[in-house]
């Protein structure tokens, strides 16, 4: 098996699962009914992508682990998601900005993955690229509305930008495993997507009357399993049934 591909797939799968988990926390509690429908859509897309990615990771590993064993039965240090996606929801401004930052990265990522040398990756990318384009649109429209809405919404939007932007850098970081897969033409080079991310976000921020701050001290650590304090609570919820009733099928 390819250890590098397995690990790089976990980075991707964990990003999607954990972000999907976060946005799913809103279901039934959204600021308006239309968002009670839209946010579960985004959660379904993210979780759906994670399932495809984990299933493939399990195949690549070749030890018979399925999507659920990978999603549910690892220890916190073994999750490789970036810190951005595990950040708590805080408010609707933070949530939409997090979705925008992530999808503005993943859309060009999957676009590039369409020409992967690996057929399964191309298949996953084909579905995900359309979903991410929709997330950019949906979250981007909200960032614009909130940024150029009321005084309060603009203030909240600025706070979200202050708080979340330091976590963006980790999206571009190439782990040794990701680098190996990029060298083999299996997965895209993350570093190469910076310009596209900047352009997408700049275009939206321009309409939202927001400025992208310069980040002197990027927050990194998720890819090496160094998560924040909230991650343990997220995993406690995610894993609860599997841990309390081990070895059963549901």
Partner 1 sequence: MYSQGLIGADGTTEETEEFLAAFQARIDREEKIEPNDPMPEGYRKTLIRQIGQHAHSEIVGMLPEGNWITRAPSLRRKAALLAKVQDEGGHGLYLYSAAETLGVSREQMTEELLSGKAKYSSIFNYPTPTWADMGTIGWLVDGAAIMNQIPLCRCSYGPYARAMIRVCKEESFHQRQGYELLISLCNGTKEQKDMAQDSINRWWWPSLMMFGPHDADSSHSEQSMKWKIKRFSNDELRQKFIDATVPQAEYLGLTVPDPDLKWNPEKNNGKGGYDHGEINWVEFWQVVKGHGQMNRDRIKARKKAWNDGEWVRDAALAHAEKRAARQTAQAAE
Residues at the contact surface with partner 1, assessed by CB under 8 A: 17, 21, 24-25, 27-34, 36-37, 40-41, 43-44, 47-48, 50-51, 54, 67-68, 71-72, 91-92, 144-146, 148-150, 152-153, 156, 234, 237-238, 240-242, 245, 248-250
Q: How far is the CB of 164 from partner 1 (least distance, A)?
A: 17
- Write down the least CB distance from residue 239 to partner 1, Å: 9
Q: Which residues of 152-180 are buried (b: 16+ CB within 10 A; e: fewer)?
A: ebbebbbebbeebbbbbbbbbbbbebbbb
- Min dist. Cβ of residue 193 to partner 1 (A): 27
The secondary structure element, H or E, covering residue 33 is helix 33-61
C-beta closer to partner 1: residue 78 or 152: 152
Q: Which is nearer to partner 1, 186 or 231 (CB)?
A: 231
The least distance separating partner 1 from the CB of residue 160, rounded to whole angstroms, comes to: 13
Q: Where are the beta strands (DSSP E) in the chain?
A: none
| Cβ atoms within 10 Å of 11's Cβ, excluding its own | 23
What six digits make up the tokens of 86? Answer: 């595990």
Instruction: Pick between residue 32 and residue 195 the one whose CB is nearest to partner 1.
Output: 32
* Alpha carbons 190 and 25: distance in angstroms, whole number: 28
- Residue closer to partner 1 by CB (options 25, 169) is 25
Work out how close the CB of 60 gets to partner 1 at its nearest, in angstroms, rounded to a whole number.
18
Instruction: Phi first, then psi: give them for residue 32, nearest 5 degrees.
Output: -150, 155
Residue with smaller CB distance to partner 1, 186 or 234 = 234
Closest CA to 230 of 165, 180, 183, 167: 167
């Amino acid at each position: 098996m390819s250890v590098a591909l397995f690990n790089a797939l976990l980075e991707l799968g964990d990003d999607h699962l954990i972000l999907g988990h976060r946005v799913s926390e809103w279901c039934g509690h959204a600021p308006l009914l239309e968002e009670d429908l839209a946010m579960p859509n985004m959660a379904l897309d993210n979780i759906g992508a994670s399932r495809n990615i984990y299933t493939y990771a399990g195949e690549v590993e070749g030890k018979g682990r399925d999507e659920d064993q990978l999603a549910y039965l690892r220890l916190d240090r073994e999750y490789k998601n970036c810190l951005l996606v595990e950040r708590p929801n805080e408010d609707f401004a933070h949530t939409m900005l997090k979705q925008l930052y992530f999808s503005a990265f993943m859309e060009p990522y999957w676009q590039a993955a369409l020409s992967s040398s690996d057929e399964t990756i191309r298949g996953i990318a084909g579905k995900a690229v359309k979903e991410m384009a929709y997330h950019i649109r949906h979250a981007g429209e909200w960032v614009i509305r909130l940024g150029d809405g009321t005084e309060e919404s603009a203030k909240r939007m600025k706070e979200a930008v202050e708080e979340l932007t330091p976590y963006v850098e980790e999206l571009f970081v190439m782990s040794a495993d990701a680098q190996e897969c990029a060298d083999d033409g299996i997965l895209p080079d993350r570093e190469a997507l910076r310009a596209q991310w900047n352009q997408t976000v700049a275009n939206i921020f321009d309409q939202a009357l927001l400025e992208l701050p310069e980040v002197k001290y990027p927050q990194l650590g998720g890819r090496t399993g160094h998560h924040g304090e909230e991650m343990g609570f997220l995993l406690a919820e995610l894993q609860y049934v599997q841990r309390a009733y081990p070895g059963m099928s549901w």
